Structure 1
Amino acid sequence: MRSNPAPLPLPTERRQTVRPAALAPEDVRDSADLARLIEQLGCGDDLIVVSNRAPCVHSRSADGIVAQRPAGGLVTALEAVLSKEGGCWIAHGSGDADRATVDANDHVLPQHIDAPYRLRRLWLSDTEVAGYYDGLANEALWPLCHRTGVAPTFRAADWANYVAVNRRFAEAVVAEASSARPVVLVQDYHLALVPQMVREQLPDAVIILFWHIPFPTPQVLATFPWASELMAGLLASTVMGLQTPGDLTNFSLARAKIAGAHGRGVAHAGAYPISIAWPARADVAAPGVRESVGRQFGIAPGVRLLVGVDRMDYTKGLSERLQAFELLLERRPDLRGHVTLLQIGAPCRSALAAYQKITRDVGALTQRVNARFGKDGWQPVVLHAQSADAATVTACYRAADVCLVTSLHDGMNLVAKEFVAARTDLRGALVLSSQAGAAAELHQALIVDPRDIAGMARAIERALDMSPDEQTRRLRAMRGVVSQFTVFRWAAALLVDGMRIGAGRQSGRIAMMATERA
């Protein structure tokens, strides 16, 4: 007698066995999507992030040891990459309580960090910091890569410290890797030699270096005494990520010039414009934000608001911005008493002479404009020469009639994208430098030449006069771009390309070894 056939599974049971569709980078919007993609790629168990700055700094306070986390989308995205146990973040330990929070292997103890990954700290001496960071990174490479008129300073001792510190980071990567093929994400110009140093010991590693600042032309790079060594370090990457097509062109030209010395090196270079984490739908402007910002910064009710949010850095075009506002007040007496520029200028690298000079220049210009035009109850410029927390910055974006991003030269400048994301009311205007990477994406901003003082004054005037309908149209278009191209999509694109190209590179290496043995 035949037995009855097994019952067919219910529809719900069938759905449970269907595997989710494969994700592409363009499908990734948030941290959950990125986690799914990493699971799909199968690379989450041996991921290593390497950066100069740590995602968490510990300091001593009256209440004991406290953790401070830098604001910004980059840390958010990289932490999403390291969402599985087994990942590691390697960074310089610079907080005054950092040493008190680590174990014998310099990993931050679990009670001091709420994260699934390991945070490995490296300790640098004052001499190393002065040479590697202040000297080579910020007095040589930073001005070399930014067109601002500040001349780079080249010192052999700084280069020696840069090489030594990069070697220490690379050794930490090798020590933390749990396989012969880790996925290593190296961040920025501070660590340009790490890919080659890691490749020497882990030839199958997938190494992704992202260069966050502008990449110089080959002619400018040739003035750097160690250009060949720098490019050799970069060319050992599996993927070399840059901000814009223009940066990619500069890198490709530099790569061609040194190809004879170092071979073709890096398997892939591409433009991967970085972005921000799109805010949650519930993150909307609270009523009275304009009044709150006014009270906080001493700006009278009814005064229209221009906002700038920058580091006190000579690349940000702060002097030119103030001069443009001064010219606007000259031309438009009717604006006096009715418009204020709130400039947040966070202190930055204050030990270096170029940064001391820009701080003095901005202070002097602020005093000049206020002396010329200020009157009882109104100051044209309110300079907040301090850092501001993320909540304050977002409130300033939402209170602004106009946001000013007028960098002389910038890799991306995420302030522009943060402003767009903050304006859920579809109000306000963005004046954006053509020399910021964001200008390649945010076409509906008012694009300006940051060295054209008169042109910037006209753009600010136009922004103040812009109708609500035009504001809405422009912001809706820009929000569409930023909401799709998030920092998680940026990370996804780098990882997908890195894993694909790394697999091909490994296969080619295995085939070559087999041929040599034959």
Structure 2
Amino acid sequence: MVTLTTLIIVYLSVMTPIKRTTEWIKKLRRGETVEEINPKHKILLGPLAGEISKMAKSLETARLAAEEEARLRQSSESLWTPERLKEFVKVRLGGRPLFVVSNREPYIHFKKGKEIKCIVPASGLVTAIEPVLKACGGTWIAQGSGSADKETVDKQDKIKVPPEEPQYVLRRVWVTKEEEGGYYYGFANEGLWPLCHIAHTRPTFRAEDWLQYEAVNKKFAEAVLEELEGTQEPCVLIQDYHFALLPRLIKSKRPDARVAIFWHIPWPNPESFGICPWQKEILDGMLGADIIGFHTQFHCNNFMETVDRVLESRLDYEHFTVCREGSTTWIKPFPISIDFAGVSNSAASGNGSKEALLAKYDIQALFMGVGVDRLDYTKGILERFRAVEHVLASDSRYLGKFTFVELAAPSRTAIPRYAEFVVEVEKEAERINDRFKTKNWRPILLLIKHHSHKEILPFYRAADLCLVTSLHDGMNLVAKEFVAARDDEAGALILSKFTGVSREFPDALIVNPYDIVETAQAMKTALTMTADEQKERMRSMRELLKERNIYKWASDLVGELARVRIGRSL
């Protein structure tokens, strides 16, 4: 009896801690919070308890590390970065290089005295596309336009860029002055540009310009085909309205190529596009591409309706495809964006208060607005100046206290309408300044020159408001750059409803730029907006822009292009 009792006591003394320790291990395995092993149990279990405790700590450390890794993985998958895009493109394209074609080159070399300088041109296209090539590598084929461009390329007309840290190849194509006059200034910018923008400037179409447009498209096709030699099933991204004929020219020689053309400007309704005498040729050339991209679904709709009116083809509105002569083209929206992190980080590293920025021009003001544009009649610059005038005329509180800074880049001045527009802008700024200016203040500071991003960012950072009043625009990246620059979550964005970006930024103050009173009222709203409301609006726009950055845009476009099956049976 004594022996039995002893055995029972020993059994209970040993098994009880083992059972409880077993439960403790189960909780630990399930990720539940557990306390240390009971000290009494440790004594009874001896060295085993120590090993179990060590194992428990290792499991807990591993579990926390796994949770952190999962969190980081989820975060990285929701945000597109250069590294992620690089891997994505490598996998989707099977290691094949990416080819980009545009009229505007990303780097211009020019002579300054005996030195050769290099600049990045003021261009929304360059702002958007260059981060993609930096991330993925490849070849960018563009017109060489700088006075020292020929001196800086090799025998194959190539140069590695960026100069400070080469990451891709720039292949330059040489265009004569006669060709440039007809193709670029004539057909593209006196014809197609005003045709596609509802800005009430009459498009001009001349037969001799069309011939040059055809010739330069063929010249670029030859250069692209040279670069594609040796690459099987290459991927080509053609940029904008300068090269409407290029997709067909490339596909006719390289049917194995995957070709996309992205149209950076609006596409008008069929009636408007019908003005173009060569509308059939333009549409047929574009439909040589596997994918035609626009900024918005609205522009896709207009394009489909135009094709339906003009060409004999089969349209599928469910999938937004056009089938013509045995080939299929997808029509899709790809809202272009910017390198959010790049702009945000560059802006954060800069400095300059509004007082310091204005003091350089002998201006003292409590409030500052900013606009950044090419000097183009589609940008609504005159309308915004008149809105500034209305604010000052209707509310004396802002007299002597509000200055609007317009950072304006000269553009296409060889075209008479553009040269005239520069004069109009200068005269309007002068008229309004003469009406209101005082000794140490004027309402409009007009700075006409090519401004670098480094020069622009301090104005974005210091401004109380940014005005984007385009009369018609495909997207408008100035609005996105302003938002990216405001990591302080302050300031207000006033945005034309005729921009593509207005569909993405409902937290901006949306206006009709033709309505001067409405725009002026939006400026007053922006200047009196509370810090909390500014933060709420800006935070919302920044979060959206952070997710929909240029790397997301490129992944969408390249991803769709990689899905194209050669033979066009989609």
Q: Aligned pair in 2 of structure 1 residues 113, 167: CA closer, same or farther (>3 Å)? A: farther
2:144 alignment counterpart: 93
Q: Aligned pair in 2 of structure 1 residues 44, 116: CA closer, same or farther (>3 Å)? A: farther
1:272 alignment counterpart: 334
**Please, which of 75, 81, 101 is the counterpart of residue 50 of structure 1?**
101
Residue 313 of structure 1 aligns to a residue whose secondary structure is coil
**Please, which of 496, 499, 506 is the counterpart of residue 567 of structure 2?**
506
1:260 paired to 2:312: yes
State the distance in 2 between where 1:306 and 1:89 align.
36
**Please, which of 50, 59, 67 is the counterpart of residue 118 of structure 2?**
67
The two structures have a TM-score, normalised by structure 1, of: 0.89
**Per-residue CA distance 1:45-79 (angstroms, 9 max, x = gap):** 23211110112211122463222223667546544
1:237 alignment counterpart: 289
- Letter of the 2:415 counterpart: L
State the distance in 2 between where 1:466 and 1:214 align.
32
State the distance in 2 between where 1:84 and 1:442 align.
27
1:194 paired to 2:246: yes
**Please, which of 417, 439, 449 is the counterpart of residue 354 of structure 1?**
417
1:433 paired to 2:484: no
- Which protein shows a greater Rg? 2
The count of aligned residue pairs is: 490
1:308 alignment counterpart: 371
Superposed CA RMSD: 2.7
- Letter of the 2:358 counterpart: G
Kindly indicate whether the alpha-carbon contact (under 8 Å) linking 2:96 and 2:231 is maintained by their aligned counterparts in 1. no
1:133 alignment counterpart: 184
Q: Aligned pair in 2 of structure 1 residues 291, 61: CA closer, same or farther (>3 Å)? A: same
**Per-residue CA distance 1:185-204 (angstroms, 9 max, x = gap):** 10000011100000100012
- Letter of the 1:339 counterpart: F
1:181 paired to 2:233: yes
1:290 paired to 2:342: no
The two structures have a TM-score, normalised by structure 2, of: 0.81
Q: Aligned pair in 2 of structure 1 residues 156, 266: CA closer, same or farther (>3 Å)? A: farther
**Per-residue CA distance 1:286-336 (angstroms, 9 max, x = gap):** 564323322334331x52101111111100001111111111111101210
Q: Shift of residue 259 of structure 1?
A: 4.0
Q: Aligned pair in 2 of structure 1 residues 26, 54: CA closer, same or farther (>3 Å)? A: farther
1:152 paired to 2:214: no
Kindly indicate whether the alpha-carbon contact (under 8 Å) linking 2:86 and 2:136 is maintained by their aligned counterparts in 1. no
1:515 alignment counterpart: none
Kindly indicate whether the alpha-carbon contact (under 8 Å) linking 1:45 and 1:85 is maintained by their aligned counterparts in 2. no
2:405 alignment counterpart: 342
Flag structure 2 segments of 5+ consecutive residues without an equivalent: 1-61, 67-71, 315-322
2:51 alignment counterpart: none
2:320 alignment counterpart: none
Q: Aligned pair in 2 of structure 1 residues 152, 287: CA closer, same or farther (>3 Å)? A: closer
Residue 55 of structure 1 aligns to a residue whose secondary structure is coil
Name the % identity: 40
State the distance in 2 between where 1:361 and 1:253 align.
37
Which stretch of the first structure deviates more once superposed, 388-397 or 62-71? 62-71
Q: Shift of residue 171 of structure 1?
A: 1.2
**Per-residue CA distance 1:103-125 (angstroms, 9 max, x = gap):** 22222268968434332111111
- Letter of the 2:482 counterpart: F
- Letter of the 1:273 counterpart: P
**Please, which of 56, 70, 92 is the counterpart of residue 41 of structure 1?**
92
Kindly indicate whether the alpha-carbon contact (under 8 Å) linking 1:50 and 1:186 is maintained by their aligned counterparts in 2. yes
**Please, which of 486, 492, 501 is the counterpart of residue 555 of structure 2?**
492
Higher relative contact order (CA 8 A, sep 6+): 1
Q: Aligned pair in 2 of structure 1 residues 22, 192: CA closer, same or farther (>3 Å)? A: farther
State the distance in 2 between where 1:332 and 1:141 align.
41
State the distance in 2 between where 1:25 and 1:269 align.
29
Kindly indicate whether the alpha-carbon contact (under 8 Å) linking 1:35 and 1:80 is maintained by their aligned counterparts in 2. no
State the distance in 2 between where 1:143 and 1:424 align.
36
Residue 337 of structure 1 aligns to a residue whose secondary structure is coil
Kindly indicate whether the alpha-carbon contact (under 8 Å) linking 1:238 and 1:267 is maintained by their aligned counterparts in 2. yes
Kindly indicate whether the alpha-carbon contact (under 8 Å) linking 2:122 and 2:451 is maintained by their aligned counterparts in 1. no
Which stretch of the first structure deviates more once superposed, 149-158 or 252-261? 252-261
- Letter of the 1:140 counterpart: G
- Letter of the 1:434 counterpart: K
2:56 alignment counterpart: none
Q: Shift of residue 180 of structure 1?
A: 3.9
State the distance in 2 between where 1:41 and 1:76 align.
24
**Please, which of 260, 268, 277 is the counterpart of residue 225 of structure 1?**
277
Flag structure 1 segments of 5+ consecutive residues without an equivalent: 1-11, 16-20, 510-518
State the distance in 2 between where 1:132 and 1:288 align.
42
Q: Shift of residue 22 of structure 1?
A: 12
Residue 312 of structure 2 aligns to a residue whose secondary structure is helix
State the distance in 2 between where 1:163 and 1:23 align.
48
1:249 paired to 2:310: no
2:513 alignment counterpart: 450
- Letter of the 1:370 counterpart: N
